Amino acid sequence: MKRIIITFLSLVLLVLAFSNDATAQKKKVMNLPAYDLAPYHFGFILGLNQMLFAVKPVENLAFIKWEPEQAADLFADSVYVYGVTSTPTPGFTIGILGNLRLGKYFDLRFIPSLSFGERILNYSVLAYKNEEGQFIETSKSITSTFIDFPLEFKYKSKRLNNVRGYVLVGASYTLDLASQKKAAKSSDDITVKINKNDLLLSAGVGFDFYTSYFKFGTQLKMSYGLNNLIKYENNIYSNSIETLRSKVFLISFTFE
């Protein structure tokens, strides 16, 4: 994701450099001059996402002693959990875009999309077996396939030749089709299960580029979940977490 952000920032710098150069030159011919005057238009979106969790462990986690049946896949007599973290992984997003013109500088956008990704929970564990302690790093993978229904307000800057910047804020309802809430239980491998419904708030920034035939856009957006997703099942992987919320970074390209 760092590479994605660096690429996006490099693009922003190029746009700014282009804008400064454009102000020092004659006004260029504007592509699609009446495009933004249409009451509505449609397009599609392609994006790269990075999903992870904002994890809040339970209070005094390191002092909680867990019984063997609560960590059956570790085959230990007793277990202490010292920390829980989340590792992000890359994914991708595709969707369709509907844009409603609200005014000269304001638009309302509805972008139903399908997102694929994976999130990993990492546990630092001290396991005792026959009175001998051993530190263990174990991970649980949670694969997700989201149907997103984001509704966003877009505030556009004044158009400079064939470039326009914008910021956006919005909210999204998300349904996780690959939720592990109903995954089969196994005594040998405990699965972390999450709830499938979530509500996210988002904010982003981007640029639109007007070509001779269509409008091309690129944006960087961050979304944060409001719901606690963890499903408690009396094991060390779920009950060591107080709250588990989604966090998603998305760099996307729009074609309108």
d(CA 121, CA 158): 44
Residues 6+ apart with CB under 8 A from 81: 57, 61, 62, 64, 66, 123, 124, 125, 126, 236, 240
Is the CB of residue 200 less than 8 Å from the CB of residue 172? Answer: yes
Domain span at residue 225 reads 2-22+31-255
d(CA 30, CA 28): 6
Q: Please tell me whether the overall predicted TM-score, pTM, comes out greater than 0.75 for this model.
A: yes
d(CA 90, CA 118): 7
pLDDT reported for residue 109: 97
Residue type, 214: F
pLDDT reported for residue 94: 96
- pLDDT, tens only, 79-98: 999 999 999 889 999 999 99
pLDDT reported for residue 11: 54
pLDDT reported for residue 56: 95
The number of distinct structural domains making up the chain is: 1
- Count the neighbouring beta carbons within 10 Å of the beta carbon of residue 82: 13
Assign residue 92 the CATH number of its domain. 2.40.160.20
For the CA atoms of 232, 181, 82, 84, the dihedral, rounded to the nearest 10 degrees, stands at -130
pLDDT reported for residue 22: 47
**Which segments in the chain show pLDDT lower than 50?**
19-20, 22-25, 181-187
pLDDT reported for residue 242: 96
